[in-house]
Amino acid sequence: MIYQLDTSVHEWAKYERLILFDGVCNWCNAWVNVAIAHDPDQQFKFGTLQSEQAQHILRDLQLSATDYQTFLLLEGGRVYTKSTAALRVIRQLSWWWPLFYVGVLVPVPLRDVVYDFVARHRYQWMGRAATCRVPTQVERDRFV
């Protein structure tokens, strides 16, 4: 799904590429680590869905502000969710990650069925942290 953000209302819309993720989800944090490791040009900034700004965005888009079933990719004032967001992120990464962008050929409803399955089971598979991720000193400038 793709949404448009009102850039006059949302301060985070100013970022060219911002990934908003579940900060207590170990699965999500692992993927943030992948994105950081394979983003040598530091195109992406990161923030948690638990933050006040992200909560405002979730409410405006009529998405759950407590039961996170997707991460958000804010890109040029647009908001992408689920498999579309994931594919847009991996397309920008280094190494062999962009090869997975071929998944864009799969119809969105089918891709999102897989995405939803993983989202429902991510805490079972990888666990949940007690608090949101705290960026390291090196990562600090990448987080908003």
| Joined tokens for residue 64 | 């759950």
CB 103 within 8 A of CB 49: no
Say which CATH number the domain at 102 has: 3.40.30
Q: β-strands 72-75, 17-21: how paired? A: antiparallel
Sorted by sequence, the CB contacts under 8 Å of residue 45 that are 6+ apart come out as 15, 17, 18, 19, 142, 143, 144
> How much is the pLDDT for 117?
96
Mean pLDDT of each 10-residue bin along the chain, 144 residues long: 74 88 92 93 94 90 88 91 95 90 94 95 90 85 91
> How much is the pLDDT for 1?
67
> How much is the pLDDT for 15?
87
> How much is the pLDDT for 93?
94
- Structural domain including 112 reads 2-142
Sorted by sequence, the CB contacts under 8 Å of residue 117 that are 6+ apart come out as none
CB 83 within 8 A of CB 103: yes
* DSSP string for 115-138: HHHHHHHHHHHH-B-SS-----TT
H helical segments located in the chain: 26-37, 52-60, 82-92, 108-126
Number of domains making up the chain:
1
pTM of this structure: 0.90
| Joined tokens for residue 106 | 């799969």
CA atoms within 13 Å, Cβ hemisphere of 56: 11
